[in-house]
Amino acid sequence: MIDIATRVWNHKWKIDPIVRSMIDTDFYKLLMCQSVFRNKPDARVTFSLINRTKDVRLAELIDEGELREHLDHIRSLSLSRGESTWLRGNTFYGKRQMFRPDFMEWFEALRLPDYHLEKRDGQYELTFEGSWPEVMLWEIPALTVLMELRGRAVLNRMEKFELQVLYARAMTKLWEKVERLRKVPALRIADFGTRRRHSFLWQDWCVQALIEGLGDTFIGTSNCLIAMRQEVEAIGTNAHELPMVYAALAETDEALAKAPYRVLEDWQEEHEGNLRIILPDTFGTKGFLKRAPHWLESWTGMRIDSGDPATGAETAIEWWKSRGEDPRKKLVIFSDGLDVEKILELHRQFEGRVRVSFGWGTLLTNDFRGLVPNDALRPFSLVCKAVSANGNPTVKLSDNPNKSMGPADEVARYKRVFGVGEQEALEVIV
């Protein structure tokens, strides 16, 4: 028996929308959005798409009209009543009413602002300008739309059974990772793969596979919609976006030097426990920690998102020790370019020395490497970043110069202000 109504309903769609919900986004975007809504609601910020993998020529793969349809569809979305109820009523990180009523009212009324799209040199220039709390919510849907349209461009050429076998292989590949990870006790792994996922349905499948396959080892997903539907924890804290924009808004070098700490002061007013996670690498980890105020010592943990992760964690441990803290009570979150091998290696290295958890991203939700001819579905490095605030360019130094951003003169100024010297360059896969 075929469900005729479903078939007819499907006929009615002009497109098959990639993003269908305002909360099909990373949890930390909402946490940060609330913080920005409270502290910097009037900052004018520009977000811009940046494809670091130049040989994936997105404008040749993806039809502009189709891309516009998806972006327009996202602009038509608004928070549904059930989503609002979940955000208002659910417990996040042990806390009820994480989202304040004034923020929720604003969010319920929000429609995403307009976008600007142009083709240049085989790539799309896609930018979003507006008030910070509004434009920042474009980051994740813009990335997921481009990632999935690129995937669809490849999949369009495949036959029915080729497709089924492609997914069979991808499932097998993921499950082999699960089988390796499930053997290791005391691992803690979260899905951080929303932004560069293969597709929504695939991310949803991956999360369900981790729920069944990993049991308690799986601690949750960064994706709010999936967290809500699969009834798992929504995971995430804060990102480089906050210190980058705070820094760009600073009017003097002195204010610039203080900006990364100002961000965390604002954060501390709202959050405690496992949400007090330091992201130290925006302008170089070493200088950040050296000049960190005493109140940061009591924070729960640190997220290592660039540079060699083991070195980053050793730096964190050393810093806690130097400030009289017991690292075994602290939490290190690894979130940069992880796959099973690296997870297991870091786990072995740091087990017992510090609490560890892993934010597993692209190679969880988009590992189709080697599964189609010419590796046409290999993950690539697409980001959507705040590039200016109130007219000033933003800068990111990172612990890996291949992840740095900003105009050369500003980068030089930031390096001087934050005392950053030579850095080791590491390949950025995803």
Interface contacts to a second copy, rule CB under 8 A: 1-3, 5-6, 9, 159-162, 164-165, 167-169, 171-172, 175, 208-209, 212-213
Closest separation in Å from C-beta 193 to a second copy: 17
Is 63 or 212 the residue whose CB approaches a second copy more closely?
A: 212
What is the three-class DSSP state of 223? strand
Query: CA-CA distance, 43 to 243, in Å (whole number)?
Result: 13
Is 50 or 166 the residue whose CB approaches a second copy more closely?
A: 166
Closest separation in Å from C-beta 9 to a second copy: 7
Q: Residues 84, 89, 94, CA angle at the centre, nearest 5°?
A: 130
Is 212 or 375 the residue whose CB approaches a second copy more closely?
A: 212
Is 209 or 255 the residue whose CB approaches a second copy more closely?
A: 209
In this structure, how many other beta carbons lie within 10 angstroms of the beta carbon of residue 279?
Answer: 24
Is 9 or 295 the residue whose CB approaches a second copy more closely?
A: 9
Closest separation in Å from C-beta 216 to a second copy: 15
| Nearest in space to 197 (alpha carbons), one of 60, 363, 57, 51 | 363
Is 175 or 295 the residue whose CB approaches a second copy more closely?
A: 175
Q: Which helix (H) or strand (E) holds 349?
A: helix 340-350
What is the torsion angle, in degrees rounded to the nearest 10, for the CA atoms of residue 325, residue 327, residue 329 and residue 333?
Answer: 130
Is 5 or 109 the residue whose CB approaches a second copy more closely?
A: 5
**278 Rama class: left (phi>0) / alpha (psi -120 to 50) / beta:** beta
Strands 301-304 and 392-393: unpaired
Residue 87's Cβ-side half-sphere holds a number of Cα atoms within 13 Å equal to: 28
Query: CA-CA distance, 129 to 139, in Å (whole number)?
Result: 12
Closest separation in Å from C-beta 171 to a second copy: 4
Is 209 or 428 the residue whose CB approaches a second copy more closely?
A: 209
Residue 343's identity, in one-letter code, is: I
Closest separation in Å from C-beta 185 to a second copy: 20
Closest separation in Å from C-beta 57 to a second copy: 28
Give residues with Cβ within 8 angstroms of 250, minimum separation 6.
256, 258, 259
User: Could you give phi then psi for residue 277, rounded to 5 degrees?
Assistant: -115, 125
Closest separation in Å from C-beta 385 to a second copy: 35
Concatenating the DSSP letter of every residue in 167-203 gives: HHHHHHHHHHHHHHHTTSTT--EEE--STT-S-HHHH
Closest separation in Å from C-beta 19 to a second copy: 21
Closest separation in Å from C-beta 290 to a second copy: 47
Query: CA-CA distance, 399 to 414, in Å (whole number)?
Result: 13
Is 352 or 373 the residue whose CB approaches a second copy more closely?
A: 373
